[in-house]
Chain A
Amino acid sequence: MRTDEITITPDSVERHYWMDLWRYRELFYILSWRDLKVRYKQTVLGLAWSVLRPVLTTLVFYIVFNNIAKLESPGAAPYILLVFAGMVPWQFFGNALSEASNSLVGNSNLISKVYFPRMIIPASSVITSLVDLLISLVILVILFIYFQYLPDLKVLLLPVFILMAFIAAFGTGLYLTALNVKYRDFRYIIPFIIQFGLYITPVGYSSAVIPDQYRLWYSLNPMVGVIDGFRWCLLDEPFYRDGFLISLAICLFFLWIGIRHFRRTEKSFADVI
């Protein structure tokens, strides 16, 4: 049998960080599996819940913006597809962010009793939301069939934008969940961020309606790049490169700052949680 030697010093967590994360991958699978399983077990509607949420919200947007406020889709795609293509990544982001930010506090019993790389917990809750995203994509396919709309080959690039949404949610989630351990009132701020974000993100409208001189600033919101990307490869909307690059940069910046903050504070999680 291979005997591995560990040295525990005040900063030992820092040194084997990424190796440890790899070593505990099995726990990561099983925690994600638990989150999924529990999620669909405890609710009456189960899976239907992840179908109903985006569909109903999209319908509301359709009625309010298209029928009442007379907002139109700028391209060839029907307005409802435009909204849904934005709603899918947005709801993923919103769910992932709120689940991730509460994940550490929700698993406090694990954190104070067992060692494992703490990053597993927020990561597995983001993964759980990814499953919802996949379900919504199935609905999107159904909508495409209904409207007899065929996306072109660019659709193969969709995983890139899903990954970008993942990074945006994971980075921000890491930062917020670490803050939430110390300052419990952050949990009240997160729903507010998500609600507010829905309006400053092009979910109910196309980002083409933003005046050109503000568009670069507008792209500072990382989800703008993600949603534009979704619409570009699904609905063939024009691609605004500079804005996308800014969004991507902000995404990566959030990921970096999230990981940095998380690693700085995670040592004390067991003591303060």
Chain B
Amino acid sequence: MPVITAENLSKKFVIAHESRERYTALRDVMARGVKKIFSFPGSLWSGSTSRATKEEFWALKDLNFEINQGDRVGIIGRNGAGKSTLLKILSRITPPTEGKVTIKGRVASLLEVGTGFHPELTGRENIFLNGAILGMSRAEIRKKFDEIVAFAEVEKFLDTPVKRYSSGMYVRLAFSVAAHLEPEILIVDEVLAVGDAQFQKKCLGKMEDVSKNEGRTVLFVSHQFESLRAFCNTGVLLANGILASQSSLEECIEVYQRSTNVQRNCTYTNDDGLFFKKMILKEDQIQIGNSITIKIAHSLKYNPNNLIIAVNIKNEFGETITQILNVDNKVNSISKPGEFNIEIQNLNFIPGIYNIALWVGFDMINEIEKIDNVLQFEVSNQNFSDRHTPFSKSLKTFHKSKWESF
């Protein structure tokens, strides 16, 4: 019996290019209005001000799927594929632009651990607050209160404000409230990525118990295939807002991994960019321990001396493995206008596909521009090590070693 049915589900975002801030200031709107009044209709200027303002972007496009009762669905896809948007629509946080979803049963969504936790309130008070926010009634919380506290192992600190909690305790308490939710449908975003491994396992176990024994439906987004495999039985794969596959979890993971291998970009043009215009990666496949060179064409005309440029390298699970800054190399200003090269050396990563994200700003705080997943490269293990089995996915780096008198 399907408990969730989505028909032609689409969500559109309108991106305003003018404002770099996430919100608009009335000041700007008024200034724009004044500009519009004073520009002559039909002149060169009037057209260009309004043209550059908006661009439509479909985060989800025509999604059709059914989810049956008792399914434990793993939702996978790259960053920006629309996973979070889908969860937000299903949790009713944001409405779809088109289409419709029918949901049978009470939905609880866990998009963040400890939503609404207030640092000034005590552990006891926060359990009630967080429980209510997640959709539990007071009677329900009271009934499960002891269980929640015991599960989180915070009995001694119940009447201490949570601002004095260690981060581990905080996360445990937050998880524990969430793990005791008993809706018919539970939606979980990548929240389990925080917290220590053992407690994560305990939570997954608890949620699994609930879903297996009582036929609850769970939707679970994660980049960690291990926990998906341990928990889910079916999968949904999203790619650029489109449903790429809905089948068994293994099949989805396989399709996903195949697709990430094909899409390897060595050049990226960003014509509308404020700073980054064009990026070229000189090599798309390297051996473990080798270096890559990124050539960046930029639009900066003058030469500020507090410019920070950051290169983040992420693995295929979206985890940032390393960050390289210009100041690491004691370079504070760009010597040649127009373009520069960055050579990143000794990439001791385990074999896999890596993504590069770029950031530029002043003093690490004032962001000018950020672009994600611009370039990809592969680290390969040809003739490097004689391993016969692939590297474990939980490994991050690989180092050359000498084995003397072995």
Most chain B beta-carbon contacts within 10 A, residue among A5, A114, A268 = A114
The answer to whether B100 touches A9 (Cβ under 8 A) is: yes
Closest to B131 in A: A30
Q: Is B311 among interface residues, defined by CB-CB distance under 8 A?
A: no
Question: Which residues of B lie under 8 Å from residue A8 when comparing CB positions?
Answer: 89-90, 92, 95-96, 100-103
Q: A30-B132, A183-B24 are in contact. Are A11 and B95 (CB under 8 A)?
A: yes
The answer to whether B132 touches A13 (Cβ under 8 A) is: no
Interface residues of A in 244-273 (CB under 8 A from B): 267-268, 270-273
Q: Is B88 among interface residues, defined by CB-CB distance under 8 A?
A: yes
Question: Which residues of B lie under 8 Å from residue A30 when comparing CB positions?
Answer: 128-129, 132-133, 138
Most chain A beta-carbon contacts within 10 A, residue among B13, B91, B93, B101 = B93
Q: Is A115 among interface residues, defined by CB-CB distance under 8 A?
A: yes
The answer to whether B105 touches A38 (Cβ under 8 A) is: no
Q: Kindly provide the distance from the CB of A15 to the nearest chain B CB, expressed in whole angstroms.
A: 12
The answer to whether A38 touches B25 (Cβ under 8 A) is: no
Among B23, B25, B93, B128, the residue within 8 A (CB) of A272 is B23
The answer to whether B106 touches A4 (Cβ under 8 A) is: yes
Interface residues of B in 123-143 (CB under 8 A from A): 125, 128-129, 132-134, 137-138
Binds A, one of B109-117, B255-263, B337-345: B109-117
Closest to A30 in B: B132
Q: Is A212 among interface residues, defined by CB-CB distance under 8 A?
A: no
- Measured between alpha carbons, how far is A109 from B93 in the docked complex, in Å? 12
Interface string of A1-16 (1 = CB under 8 A from B): 0011111111111000
Could you tell me how many residues of chain B have their Cβ less than 8 Å away from some Cβ of chain A?
45
The answer to whether A114 touches B115 (Cβ under 8 A) is: yes
The answer to whether A5 touches B93 (Cβ under 8 A) is: no
Q: A109-B115, A183-B29 are in contact. Are A115 and B91 (CB under 8 A)?
A: yes
Among A5, A38, A110, A112, the residue within 8 A (CB) of B103 is A5
- Measured between alpha carbons, how far is A161 from B101 in the docked complex, in Å? 45
The answer to whether B93 touches A113 (Cβ under 8 A) is: yes
Q: Is A241 among interface residues, defined by CB-CB distance under 8 A?
A: no
Q: Is A154 among interface residues, defined by CB-CB distance under 8 A?
A: no
- Measured between alpha carbons, how far is A183 from B184 in the docked complex, in Å? 39
- Measured between alpha carbons, how far is A111 from B104 in the docked complex, in Å? 23
- Measured between alpha carbons, how far is A181 from B128 in the docked complex, in Å? 28
Question: Which residues of A lie under 8 Å from residue B184 when comparing CB positions?
Answer: 3
Q: Is B301 among interface residues, defined by CB-CB distance under 8 A?
A: no
Q: Is B298 among interface residues, defined by CB-CB distance under 8 A?
A: no
The answer to whether A267 touches B25 (Cβ under 8 A) is: no
Question: Which residues of A lie under 8 Å from residue B98 when comparing CB positions?
Answer: 10
- Measured between alpha carbons, how far is A269 from B177 in the docked complex, in Å? 26
- Measured between alpha carbons, how far is A7 from B101 in the docked complex, in Å? 6
The answer to whether A7 touches B100 (Cβ under 8 A) is: yes
Most chain A beta-carbon contacts within 10 A, residue among B97, B98, B103 = B103
Q: Is B169 among interface residues, defined by CB-CB distance under 8 A?
A: no
Interface string of B335-356 (1 = CB under 8 A from A): 0000000000000000000000
- Measured between alpha carbons, how far is A273 from B93 in the docked complex, in Å? 12
Q: Is B120 among interface residues, defined by CB-CB distance under 8 A?
A: yes
Q: Kindly provide the distance from the CB of A43 to the nearest chain B CB, expressed in whole angstroms.
A: 11
The answer to whether B121 touches A34 (Cβ under 8 A) is: yes
- Measured between alpha carbons, how far is A72 from B112 in the docked complex, in Å? 59
Question: Which residues of A lie under 8 Å from residue B320 when comparing CB positions?
Answer: none
Size category, A interface: 35 or more
Q: Kindly provide the distance from the CB of B184 to the nearest chain A CB, expressed in whole angstroms.
A: 7
Q: A8-B90, A185-B25 are in contact. Are A114 and B102 (CB under 8 A)?
A: no
- Measured between alpha carbons, how far is A15 from B100 in the docked complex, in Å? 14
Q: A4-B106, A6-B103, A272-B23 are in contact. Are A12 and B116 (CB under 8 A)?
A: no
The answer to whether A114 touches B133 (Cβ under 8 A) is: yes
Q: Kindly provide the distance from the CB of A232 to the nearest chain B CB, expressed in whole angstroms.
A: 39
The answer to whether A114 touches B116 (Cβ under 8 A) is: yes
- Measured between alpha carbons, how far is A115 from B107 in the docked complex, in Å? 10
Q: Is B197 among interface residues, defined by CB-CB distance under 8 A?
A: no
Among A9, A110, A182, A270, the residue within 8 A (CB) of B96 is A9
Question: Which residues of A lie under 8 Å from residue B104 when comparing CB positions?
Answer: 3-5
Q: Kindly provide the distance from the CB of B274 to the nearest chain A CB, expressed in whole angstroms.
A: 21
- Measured between alpha carbons, how far is A9 from B98 in the docked complex, in Å? 7
Q: Kindly provide the distance from the CB of A242 to the nearest chain B CB, expressed in whole angstroms.
A: 36
Q: Is A155 among interface residues, defined by CB-CB distance under 8 A?
A: no
The answer to whether A110 touches B97 (Cβ under 8 A) is: no
Question: Which residues of B lie under 8 Å from residue A272 when comparing CB positions?
Answer: 22-23
- Measured between alpha carbons, how far is A111 from B112 in the docked complex, in Å? 12
Q: Is A53 among interface residues, defined by CB-CB distance under 8 A?
A: no
Q: Is B397 among interface residues, defined by CB-CB distance under 8 A?
A: no
Among A6, A113, A183, A186, the residue within 8 A (CB) of B111 is A113
Among A9, A27, A114, A182, the residue within 8 A (CB) of B24 is A182
Closest to A1 in B: B184
The answer to whether B27 touches A185 (Cβ under 8 A) is: yes
The answer to whether B23 touches A182 (Cβ under 8 A) is: yes
Question: Which residues of A lie under 8 Å from residue B101 when comparing CB positions?
Answer: 7-9
The answer to whether B125 touches A115 (Cβ under 8 A) is: no
Question: Which residues of A lie under 8 Å from residue B91 when comparing CB positions?
Answer: 114-115
Interface string of B147-184 (1 = CB under 8 A from A): 00000000000000000000000000000000000001
Closest to A34 in B: B129
Question: Which residues of B lie under 8 Å from residue A3 when comparing CB positions?
Answer: 104-105, 184
Most chain A beta-carbon contacts within 10 A, residue among B90, B100, B116, B134 = B116
Q: Is A67 among interface residues, defined by CB-CB distance under 8 A?
A: no
Question: Which residues of A lie under 8 Å from residue B22 when comparing CB positions?
Answer: 272
Question: Which residues of A lie under 8 Å from residue B370 when comparing CB positions?
Answer: none
11 contacts between A and B (CB under 8 A): A5-B102, A10-B98, A34-B129, A37-B120, A41-B120, A114-B115, A114-B134, A115-B109, A181-B23, A184-B24, A270-B88
Sort A-B residue pairs by CB-CB distance and give the 8 closest, nearest first.
Answer: A183-B26, A115-B92, A30-B132, A8-B101, A270-B94, A9-B100, A113-B115, A113-B111
Other contacts beyond A13-B92, A184-B25: 7, CB < 8 A: A5-B102, A6-B92, A6-B107, A8-B95, A11-B95, A34-B125, A113-B93
* Contacts from A to B (Cβ < 8 Å): 3-13, 26-27, 30, 34, 37-38, 41-42, 109-116, 181-186, 267-268, 270-273
